[in-house]
Amino acid sequence: MKFADLKVAPEIKKNLADLGFVRPTDIQYKAIPYILNGEDVLAVAQTGTGKTAAFAIPLVDMIHQAKKSRRSDGVSCLVMVPTHELAQQTAKVFNTLAAHTRVKVMSLHGGVEQDPQIARLTKGIDVVIATPGRLFDLASQGHLDLKAISMLVVDEADHMLDQGFIGDIRDLNRKLPRNRQTLFFSATITPEIKKLAYSLVTDAIRIQISPKNPVNRNIDHSVAFIEMDDKRFFLERVVKANPEKKILVFVRTKVRAERVKAALARVEIVAETIHSDKDQTHRNRVMDEFATGKTAILIATDVSARGIDVPGVEIVVNYDLPEKPENYVHRVGRTGRGNRRGEAVAFCAPEEKPLLEAIEEYTGAQVAIIQLDRNDYQDTLDFSAEAHSDWKTLISQHEAEMAKFEKKTKKKKGKQ
């Protein structure tokens, strides 16, 4: 099947053609017909499979067709996402697909002033892509009527659970009309996620893509066993060996992100960080610069992983292994998107080996080991610009200079 064969508005088909989209991905092929038919859907699809378009295409069409025959009654579609960045990126997909249609879309999230968002809502919006905090703030203030919503999408459900939003989703469910269409999307599936899903959907169509292999096949995986304190030297080498590539680095904590950035700065490598301590203006700027290539190195935490949907990420570095194996899938899913190949490199300290084993068990595949003998390892430490300025190097240089001086002195004495 081709997108041209879909029973959707000509405007949407033109938008898809302008984007160069010809054939749907697996998740799009399986989900779109059921959504157009008004069915509830529970979909499990790995990152990078095109799942946003899988629900955006039919929802835009359904709202566009409905608005031909009646006036807008306010927000009819609500898409719940876990992060600010994901709200913005999902809204961008909707707006692109909704070009030349009657459908109006906006993102709703914290970190920015709420007054401009309120003003936009009063002008008539059909689709709101929201994070829980700002959604409930504006709903409680009476600026957003939840009773008119006939379509609910819960996207990145597993990450919503990780962020502690399960209570918010259940509160939302009690405030929405029962007679609605619900679409539930998650990259991974656990008993908790199943329980939440079945509390929201009714007689849902279940779709699961690549259940036995949660990791995108377009990604080459490798791991190097490195002491925790030496990781910065190996990251420096990866960056300098790939000067033209866009590299995304994942660390475990916000503090560590800033430390890694500082370590790179000491060897004159410019990098940016993105995590929850940064304000929205900073996060928007950093994402724009990384997307355009102005910044080639971005250091992020797991909280940010789902919100980084930047084309052209060629290498993902797991500087720290994630504590939850499913987060490995979300991290590496930032590369190898579409038909492009990507590379995922992991640095594993001795104390992190249980985490690596959990990742391999979860993905059902062993990660290829980068063999480093003592010489290779030492070469990397010696390669570092930082290593050349540490006290050990200075002592070695001093000893070498003293040896040369003594040699010259002996020669002079011999001549005399």
d(CA 66, CA 61): 9
Q: Within 10 Å of residue 69's Cβ, how many Cβ atoms?
A: 6
Place of tokens 């002996």: 410
Token readout for 118 is 């309120």
* Domain spanning 219-385, CATH class: alpha beta
Angle between helices 84-97 and 51-69 (to 10 degrees): 50
Token readout for 65 is 């067709």
Of 262, 401, 379, 236, the residue nearest 317 (C-alpha): 236
Question: Pairing relation of β-strands 181-186 and 297-300?
Answer: unpaired
The domain spans of the chain are 3-208, 219-385, 391-416
- What is the average per-residue pLDDT within 279-286? 82
d(CA 2, CA 4): 5
Token readout for 285 is 């700027």
CA distance between the termini of the chain = 93
Going 339 to 341 to 347 to 352, the CA torsion angle's sign is positive
From the number of C-beta atoms within 10 Å of its C-beta (0-12, 13-18, 19+), residue 281 rates as exposed
More confident residue, 238 or 337: 238
Decide if 115 contacts 137 (C-beta within 8 A): no
d(CA 115, CA 414): 87
* Domain spanning 3-208, CATH class: alpha beta
From residue 100, alpha-carbon distances to 60, 281, 402 in Å are 11, 30, 77
Burial profile 337-366: b = 16 or more Cβ within 10 angstroms, e = fewer: beeeebbbbbbbbeebeebbebbbebbeee
Of 299, 314, 46, 27, the residue nearest 156 (C-alpha): 46
Give the pLDDT score at 149. Answer: 92
Per-residue pLDDT for 72 more than 70?
no
Of 190, 185, 248, 231, the residue nearest 54 (C-alpha): 185
Per-residue pLDDT for 60 more than 90?
yes
Decide if 343 contacts 316 (C-beta within 8 A): yes
Give the pLDDT score at 12. Answer: 95
pLDDT, tens only, 330-386: 888 888 876 678 999 999 999 999 999 999 998 888 999 999 888 889 888 887 766
Give the pLDDT score at 230. Answer: 93
d(CA 229, CA 380): 13
Give the pLDDT score at 391. Answer: 47
pLDDT, tens only, 398-411: 566 666 656 655 65
Please tell me if the domain spanning 3-208 has the same topology as the one spanning 219-385: yes
- What is the average per-residue pLDDT within 229-241? 93
Does the pTM surpass 0.85? The reply is: no
pLDDT, tens only, 77-103: 999 998 888 898 899 999 999 999 999
